[in-house]
Amino acid sequence: MDALTFTWATRDLGEPISALFISSNKEIVAGGWNGNMKCWGEDGSLLWSIQLSDRIASILQLKQSYVVTDGMHVSCISQGELVWSQPLEGSADLLANGNNTILATSSVYDIEHGDFMESAIWTFTEQGELIDVLRLDERPWHLHFGGEMLVGLGRPKCGIFVDSTFQNLPSDSPVVCGVSKGDVCFFGHADGTISTKDAQVFKHENTINSLCLGELLIFSDEQGFLGALDTKKKKFSWKQQGEIIHTQGIGFSSTHWCHRGNGPNQKIEIRTNKGDMIHSQQLSRVNTFFSKDELMAVGLDTGIIHIWQEQMFFRGLERDDKVERDNRLDAKLLSLREKFSGNNK
């Protein structure tokens, strides 16, 4: 079964995908590792494109414009035109917006020490004017801006910033990832802890590699373990062990999507929220997932973007399942005929 035969759309950025976004009117926006950014309409037409400074790490929509972190800048683009761009100190990483402001994080990696040495949290107006900059020794690994700003920190201090105030977390281990949905925010730690800003949710034996949040909190570790947690009961709803997971996301109908494996064994796996496998097939390296309403976009290292639509996806699976069942039945009938024919000779 090949799910690529029933995609809603396929687009090509021309370079490895580093960030994706789907707008409410089904515009597909993609950013690449070399700074290329394109926007396609629902009908597949290329609406605009722009070349930015370097790798696009994050994309968010601001009214009719898009704000991105590109290279060492945070930039605003409207209809393919650069509205404003502000330089940051180091690599521009995370983005969030709220209260008519834009937050961006930056970090400086020291090759000699093999670690991040300097970081900052920048606050801009929606017009690109700098309001404030908070400089840190720790790299921010997750940025959430809901009722308050939450920033999960790595070494040496660890912990989080709540607005501009430092707070320890239930684990003193570095934050390495995070996930937010509404006002809910979870942090994954190097020592295997999963926490909110106030409490430990779960303790795993290995470093938390990534988190995604739907009806369940799903995490992966560095050994290929995948676990879906009921955070209220603090126990697994399902879990699975396999090859290393590179990226994961939640799609339509609360489905879980992940890409795992290396070399010729790379594949995408799609499960129900109960952990049952819906589909699995070989696919080039997936760099990012993005879901919006009934659409699920998958951005590949080849520069290709595959987008599935909920109803088309499930109809395609059902159709291909029927074809496979019919083929197996035909093969069985042919085998019986040949056997019967041989017995009558």
pLDDT at 326: 45
pLDDT band at 330 (very low <50, low <70, confident <90, very high): very low
- Rounded to whole angstroms, the Cα distance separating 21 from 161 reads 27
- Rounded to whole angstroms, the Cα distance separating 50 from 116 reads 30
Residues 6 or more apart in contact with residue 10 via CB below 8 angstroms: 4, 304, 305, 306, 307
**Quick check: 323 pLDDT over 70?**
no
What pLDDT, in 10s, does the model give residues 126-169? 999 999 999 998 999 999 988 789 999 998 889 999 988 999 99
Instruction: Give burial (CB, 10 Å; 0-12/13-18/19+) of 190.
Output: middle
pTM of the model: 0.89
Query: 3-state SS string over the chain?
Result: CCHHHHCCEEEECCCCEEEEEECCCCCEEEEECCCEEEEECCCCCEEEEEECCCCEEEEEEECCEEEEEECCEEEEEECCEEEEEEECCCEEEEEEEECCEEEEEEEEEECCCCEEEEEEEEEEECCCCEEEEEEECCCEEEEEECCCEEEEECCCCCCEEECCEEECCCCCCCEEEEEEECCEEEEEECCCEEECCCCEEEECCCCEEEEEECCCEEEEECCCEEEEEECCCCEEEEEEECCCEEEEEECHHHCEEEEECCHHHCEEEEECCCCCEEEEEECCCEEEEEEECCEEEEEECCCEEEEEEHHHHHHHHHHHHHHHHHHHHHHHHHHHHHHHHHHCC
Instruction: Give burial (CB, 10 Å; 0-12/13-18/19+) of 338.
Output: exposed
- Rounded to whole angstroms, the Cα distance separating 141 from 138 reads 9
Instruction: Give burial (CB, 10 Å; 0-12/13-18/19+) of 203.
Output: middle
- Domains of the chain in sequence order: 7-312 (2.130.10.10)
pLDDT at 263: 82
Q: Give how far Cα 262 sits from Cα of 259, 283, 285, 298, Å.
A: 10, 10, 8, 17
Of 137, 64, 138, 58, nearest to 103 by C-alpha is 58
Length of the chain: 345
- Rounded to whole angstroms, the Cα distance separating 225 from 134 reads 36
What pLDDT, in 10s, does the model give residues 199-238? 999 999 999 999 999 999 999 999 999 999 999 888 999 9
Give pairs for 326-333: CB < 8 Å, separation 24+: none
- Rounded to whole angstroms, the Cα distance separating 216 from 169 reads 22
What pLDDT, in 10s, does the model give residues 255-307? 999 999 988 789 999 999 999 999 999 999 999 999 999 999 999 999 999 99
CB burial readout 51-74, b (16+ within 10 A) else e: ebebbbbbbeebeeebbbbbbbbb
What pLDDT, in 10s, does the model give residues 57-84? 999 999 889 999 999 999 999 999 999 9
pLDDT band at 99 (very low <50, low <70, confident <90, very high): confident
pLDDT at 148: 87
pLDDT at 299: 97
Residues 6 or more apart in contact with residue 4 via CB below 8 angstroms: 10, 306
Chain center to CA of 180 = 12
Fill in the amino acid letter for 31: G
- Rounded to whole angstroms, the Cα distance separating 249 from 78 reads 28
